[in-house]
Amino acid sequence: MSAVPSSQRTALGVLLACSAVTVFTLMSAFVKAADRIPAGETMFFRSALALPVVLAWLFATGGLKGGIATTNYRGHAARGIAGSLAMGLGFAGLKYLPLPEVTAIRFVTPVFLVVLAALMLGERLRLVRISAVLVGLVGVVIITAPRFSAGLGSNAALGALLTLGSASLAALAQVFVKSMSGRETTAAIVFYFSLTAATLSLLTIPFGWVMPFGIEWVWLAGAGLVGGIGQILLTASYRHADAGVLAPFTYISMLWSIVIGYFWFGEVPTLPMLGGAGLIILAGVAIVLRERQLGLRTTAERQVAAKTMR
């Protein structure tokens, strides 16, 4: 059997990544539609119902046998706690802000990741990274300024703060993932995150869970099942293409969130939101392209060193 050409593998990876982003945007719409349900309760359904989907996928691909074995429970716990808090705050933010605006603010995650990686992993803050961070932060200010102008006690300001907290914690979770890179399988990271999120969400029961009724069951079940499918699609995409190639395509979620927000929730994007989102996306793409360039340079240097040692 002939090997699949790299161009076809990359195209398949891009298709899977775009599908994952589309599915995750739909998941956020389900969460927003179930706005009467507390964020912690929504997180439980999202995580608990995704677990069977993830486990079935791991079983079908052979990743269940030995794939989730680990001794780094502390690392998985740190990643799981940060990721769970990011998910919960993000779900809460959807109750106060339009879907496109939440999506735009969450795009600042790679910008926060650059700063946290420098502080926690000792990665260098080069000129391109610093410039991208500044541009991204300007974009955040443009989006959130109208919300904060209504006063810090307003629902809009609360939604902006919750979503910014979600983005920063998502970046922290990615730092923990980077620290486990090469030592833990993707299957283990996906499994233990879902398990941790489902467990931690139960701690929010005393804060007022409610009994879903009618269509709310569909939204909650859909968020869980679709979220699990999205995790599978995103994980599978990285098997066929590099992260640096796939990352820019995640920004199509902005398009989907605008379409879904308009036709489902009647949300019209504002000019500050679009302008700020453009700057944040520009900063994110610059970071991705720079990281890819540095990765290619490091690989080339290693190859030269290997030839020299022969």
Q: What is the pLDDT of residues 145-168, one digit of tens each?
A: 988 887 777 899 999 999 999 999
Buried residues in 68-83 as b, exposed as e (16+ CB within 10 A)? bebeeeebbebbbbbb
CA 6 to chain CA mean position, Å: 26
Domain range spanning residue 282?
Answer: 6-309
In a domain, 1, yes or no: no
For residue range 137-150, what is the model confidence (pLDDT) as tens digits? 999 999 999 888 87
pTM of the model: 0.86
Q: Quick check: is 37 in a domain?
A: yes
Mean pLDDT, residues 98-113 taken together: 91
Which two three-digit tokens encode residue 293?
A: 């360039």
**Mean local confidence (pLDDT), 165-181:** 89
Output 163 or 61, whichever has higher pLDDT.
Answer: 163
Q: What is the pLDDT of residue 278?
A: 92
Question: Structurally, how many domains does the chain consist of?
Answer: 1
For residue 238, is pLDDT > 90?
no
